[in-house]
Amino acid sequence: MTQTSDSARAYSRANGEKFLSELFEMLRIPSLSGDPAHAGDVRKMAEWLAAHMQTLGLDKVAVMETAGHPVVYGEWMGAGPDKPTVLVYGHYDVVPASLEDGWESDPFEPVVRDGKIYARGATDDKGQLFIHVKALEAWLKSNGAAPANVKFLIEGEEEVSSPNLTPFIEQHLDLLKADVCVISDTSMPSIDAPSITHSLRGMTYIEIEVEGPKEDLHSGLWGGAAHNPALALVEMLGKLYNPDNTIAVPGFYDDVVPLTEAEREMIAKTDLSEEQYKAVTGVPALWGDKRFTIRERLSARPTLDINGLWSGWSGPGPKTIIPQKAGAKLSSRLVANQDPHKIFELLKSYLESIAPPTVKLDVRLLTTGRAALIPFDIPEMQAAARAYERGWGHAPVFTRGGGSIPVVADIASLLKIPVVMMGYGLDSDGLHSPNEHFSIEMFERGIETAIVYLEELAQTK
């Protein structure tokens, strides 16, 4: 390690209590992007971040308006044009939380128990995005400069599917120009098993509605001659999969990029046994396409799931009716090269083809997101691997994520740069759940890893 990174890391260690105190200030702001009653708190959070960036000496710091909640931008370009520029993406908004949900303490008054910070947003994503702010501060305060240029793009709508982020990026391509984007909004299985996510699945989310009679019918007077919409719906849903547990929609797999042997070997390093999967999920038995391992099914293969069903009477006691309508919400997690809009058209066409003529069918698209697949052998990824070895203390594994962060594909395609997902949380941190938490040790290790990454990245250009 060079002396410059040594001094930056020493600064971060010496200022650990200050960093935690500042993080606590962030966590106390209930920046709930999905609740209009908290719009003022969302803006307060954005203004807090901008003010904090200004105190560190960043330039062009601004709370930038969108059609929804604002974006916070700031930059430090003092490394010069011959050094790489990293764009740090994060989000300052959070999902709702209250004591009634099962929290052991006020979710917006952070507390420390057993070395962990308990608060909404602790790991998703305030704690993780703040790691990069503190890493840059450590460089600037200890050395007066950083080895690479840094730009921050912090949004306030990630938890409501980022409806205004893509237009913002499209309108500010020059401002956001960079060589690589780093996102810390993922996790690892344990503190000694860091992982770099190089792939995320996309999403096509639809809603279907089956309608029969003009109103609910008395099942005694009219039953037997009217096709029950709930029955018609489940008959259709039962045809979504083939007997071998593959998706029956024609053309669904056409654009899926096959796994290479090298990718399968990498995925195998984080595979789960059937016993582990059953223990974690509580399911009585494993299910799925037997041609693929459990981890491959969870991350590198597309899915089609029923997320919700509704119809008829579900209150106490009997109510003998033939319901007028029945509905379901379906989501499909997509992998590289699958177009979410093409998948919607395939789903819609297939559902219409299997809908009986005794009912009317409506298929609606709710949300989409593109999958992202970044090669793990590129210099920016390998720099991240070295940073974990030096800053975290363990060599990372490159892994595919099963979830979706649509902005990853948007940034990669619009800015034409690779995206490196350097997660600093744990799979067990409880993001979106009661008692969300973030390990102080991982917060501190994350800062040191982010410090080293800037140095490693500088050597790639």
Query: In whole angstroms, what is the distance from residue 137 CA to residue 57 CA?
Result: 9
Query: In whole angstroms, what is the distance from residue 179 CA to residue 165 CA?
Result: 19
Strand order in the sheet with 325-334: 305-311, 325-334, 202-211, 360-369
| Signed CA dihedral, 153, 154, 159, 165: sign only | negative
Query: In whole angstroms, what is the distance from residue 162 CA to residue 149 CA?
Result: 26
Q: Which of 75, 93, 185, 436 is catalytic?
A: 93
Query: In whole angstroms, what is the distance from residue 131 CA to residue 450 CA?
Result: 7
What would the two tokens of residue 307 be? 């997320």
Task: Write b or e for each residue in 400-428: b if 16 or more Cβ atoms lie within 10 A of its Cβ, otherwise e.
Answer: bbbebbbbbbbbbeebebbbbbbbbbbee
Beta strand pairing status for 372-373 and 195-200?
A: antiparallel
For this structure, is 93 an active site residue? yes
Query: In whole angstroms, what is the distance from residue 92 CA to residue 114 CA?
Result: 25
Q: Which of 41, 125, 157, 158 is catalytic?
A: 158
Nearest in space to 400 (alpha carbons), one of 298, 319, 316, 304: 298
Farthest-apart Cα atoms in the chain, separation: 86
CB 4 within 8 A of CB 148: no
**Residues involved in catalysis:** 93, 158
